[in-house]
Amino acid sequence: IGSVMRDEDLADIVVGRDGRLSGPDLAGGLIEGLRKAGRNVIDIGLAPTPVAYFGAYHLRAGSCVAVTGSHNPPDYNGFKIVVGGETLSGDAITDLYERIRDARLHEGVVPGSVAQRDVAADYIQRIADDVQLDRPLKVVVDAGNGVAGDIGPRLLESIGAEVIPLYCDVDGTYPNHHPDPSEPHNLEDLIQTVKRFDADLGLAFDGDGDRLGVVTAQGEIIF
């Protein structure tokens, strides 16, 4: 990834990760490799994938990697990669493999820098300045112990919602249910909680916070 950035004359990259147990090791290795290629890393730590994308924009890096297994089982992990504003997919991923295979890897004369930044407050501010609820809403948020559990409720409160958190402590073992809101059985606890608290809405996030499940006050799933 650092070598691709060097070819495109890009210096800075944001790295964030979800709450999986393998995240710290993989993010650490990634940061080490990026610095070895002479790239400057901004480590935003635990962050939903959309917040990593926001970080790349907000910190004027233009590139980022979210270390995440998304909605897959807890023992999976991977990278979502943006270089110079372009998401790497298809042939670009194959090219990464071929670079590794052929040892076409750039090594910087001096290692790149690394800095820690928390962009959560900036992300929340950016949205709250733009969006506010017209009337009070009571919202149940089920993060499925994924990485959206911290920022999701804070964001909704900042736009005027009353939030009832459900499984919002980040735990990479996903002890309560798998964080994939596209599967109706993962929304059963959310539906019950919405009804119990007479809430207006239920929201469920996947493991890295870029998929949303929506449940009405009556407990119906909106796909």
- Catalytic residue numbers read 70
Contact criterion met (CB below 8 Å) for 45 and 116: yes
- CA pair distance 13, 151, nearest whole angstrom: 22
Residue with tokens 């052929």: 102
Give the SS3 label for residue 186.
helix
Per the structure block, which two tokens stand in for 40?
Answer: 């400057």
The size of the chain, in residues, is 223
Count Cβ atoms below 10 Å from residue 9 Cβ, excluding itself: 7
**What is d(CA 201, CA 137) in angstroms, rounded to the nearest whole number?**
8
Of the candidates 50, 65, 45, 55, the one whose C-alpha atom is nearest the C-alpha of residue 4 is 65
